[in-house]
Structure 1
């Protein structure tokens, strides 16, 4: 899992997918910041909680390819991906195709994005050696060599590789519109086709979190990880809109209104961060604290309720901003 990050650090994120994707995107746009990437790609607005126990898989339990593709398109990028389904290792043909995608990307100087190399997180493959039949790879669990045959056969036995293929310049209004649509859709639309496990995303993610604490069956480790990831994401959401409020051109259509709404959204996300920071202190990663203690559970339920309320106001502000852009 990700290492503890300073609350003032906006160069790194607990969201390993965003870190890995940004590493590839910077080949085309070296000036792209983590703040911009987290906002425009939608990662700053994610929350995904298992209502049974707040398990550790929440932050990575969704359709990666679809979400990544939409987020990358907001920044003008196109991509290619290969993935196996239902936790199955790759067939010989899938492994060959994945290796070809990775090597072609590296040959162009662009690291590939890969899942579950040293631990079940996202990272980058940045080199390969055909003689030794191994990749050079890095994720939150390590930085070293990965034998070719281990691709898609990590702890989860699931293959996912992606390459960033090309980029186009994007109109600022179109970029922001896409980011807002992605954030609002995540807030209101359940992305999971199956009812079990009982994952909920967006606003209902807070309800699922509260349900788990009401049952006092919360995973110490999983809860601490979700707290760290969501808190970190909302820090980026607040910073993203704060910078947008400072930098948006008032001369653009409805420019002053967009700036004011961005400032308002930043303040609401700051309120979410304030509440979640209380949980970061109560449930430090990886120790996890004691989430199933009745007094702590009740306190957490109250904190999550306040965070949810602030997030609802933030999303309503994003809807107002999207209306002005349209």
Structure 2
């Protein structure tokens, strides 16, 4: 006999019964976002009734302001952060507690953590809470919103949408060429002052732009990442896929930043004029990066990056983006 529990029903019958059931399924859809972590988080929050839009979630979390790159501009630049520290901090600015269960490939407790992860995922799903996890169907973050214990599969939602898998084997969790386990369990939402969390997000934006993360040894972050990216184009070291993918991710993020700041400027706070100026400058950053995405489209055409004139024009666009972002950060 197959039993399906949907939102609320699993919690009603109790965890033990849900764990024995054949199927738990929660209606969740991945958010529309090039930053996969925040697309997954948005999907989970929407399912819980949190209706804040992409711009607000990206802005308050700080992901609208993130930028990282290394000399080859690899696609993993978009997820270059200290997951166990930076993810809880980002979600805290959204008002949520969370637990990050992480295990790298050399973690001696890796198998134990995998066992705990599977148990916690089923527990969360049974309570009506989908979870965010790394590398489910693709090397990005996605949502686990169901489990079929009889078939040994998780129901998933990823940035690929209908082009991606709807289920993955349980054994795939934490697997891949570099087997990394990262599962994010969102907790309760706490009431926070809108102005205070917005100011915390802006402090993060300035700190990230001007700082170097010691945990990210091979990556430059913030304004310095632009210089690394520019150098990769001039020296011909940029990866075609990573260059085009990072451009899409960061162009979308800066668009979110501009709209987020513009929205804050309209709230009548004492620094409204400053916020409006910063919003305008981030709009200029977005224009430069969007023009860059037209030059280096995604999926990538290797010939585009092979062209010296394209690389020169791309470097010029990044230099302009760097100028406007530096001014925006100074404004903040």
Q: TM-score range by the shorter chain?
A: 0.7 to 0.9
Aligned partners of 1:148 and 1:90: how far apart in 2?
A: 19
TM-score, L = length of structure 2: 0.85
CA distance in structure 2 between the aligned counterparts of 1:266 and 1:238, rounded to whole angstroms: 5
CA contact (8 A) 2:132 2:183 kept: yes
- Check if 1:180 corresponds to 2:199: no
Do the aligned residues in 2 keep the contact of 1:79 with 1:165 (CA within 8 Å)?
yes
User: TM-score by structure 1 length?
Assistant: 0.86
Structure 2, unaligned runs of 5 or more: 1-30
Q: Match of 2:55?
A: 35
Aligned to 1:13, the other structure's residue is in SS state: coil
Structure 1 equivalent of residue 25 of structure 2: none
2:170 paired with 1:148 = yes
- Mapped contact 2:68–2:221 kept (Cα < 8 A): yes
Report whether the alignment pairs 1:14 with 2:27: no
Give the structure 1 partner of residue 310 of structure 2.
296
Q: Conserved in 2, the CA contact under 8 Å of 1:88 and 1:157? A: no
Kindly report which structure 2 residues correspond to 1:273-312, keeping only aligned pairs within 5 A, or say none: 273-288=286-301, 289-312=303-326
Which residue pairs with 1:135 in the alignment? Answer: 154
State the SS of the aligned residue for 1:131: coil
For the pair 1:112 / 2:131, whether they are aligned, the reply is yes
- Specify which of 143, 159, 162 is matched with residue 184 of structure 2: 162
Once the two structures are TM-superposed, the CA of residue 271 in structure 1 deviates from its matched residue by 0.5
* Contact 1:90/1:152, CA 8 A, preserved across alignment: no
Contact 1:28 1:167 in 2 (8 A): no
CA distance in 2, matches of 1:118, 1:155: 13
Deviation, 1:27, is: 4.3
Distance 2:208 2:279 in 1: 18
- 2:75 aligns to what? 56
In 1, are the aligned partners of 2:234 and 2:311 still within 8 Å (CA)?
yes
Q: Which moved more, 1:199-208 or 1:29-38?
A: 29-38
Q: Kindly name which structure, 1 or 2, has the bigger radius of gyration based on alpha carbons.
A: 2
Q: 1:132, 1:275 → 2: CA distance?
A: 48
- The residue aligned with 2:242 is 222
Q: CA deviation at 1:94?
A: 1.1
What is the alpha-carbon root mean square deviation over aligned residues? 1.8
Please state how far the C-alpha of 1:42 moved relative to its aligned partner: 0.6
Distance 1:56 1:301 in 2: 18
Deviations 1:118-177 (A, max 9, x none): 110000000112222221112124242222111111343111001101111110121112
CA distance in 1, matches of 2:121, 2:155: 11
1:268 match: 281
- Cα distance in 2 for partners of 1:40, 1:260 equals 19
Q: Who is 1:77 aligned against?
A: 96
Unaligned runs of 5+ residues in structure 1 are 1-10, 319-326
Deviates more, 1:221-230 or 1:25-34: 25-34
2:264 counterpart residue number: 244
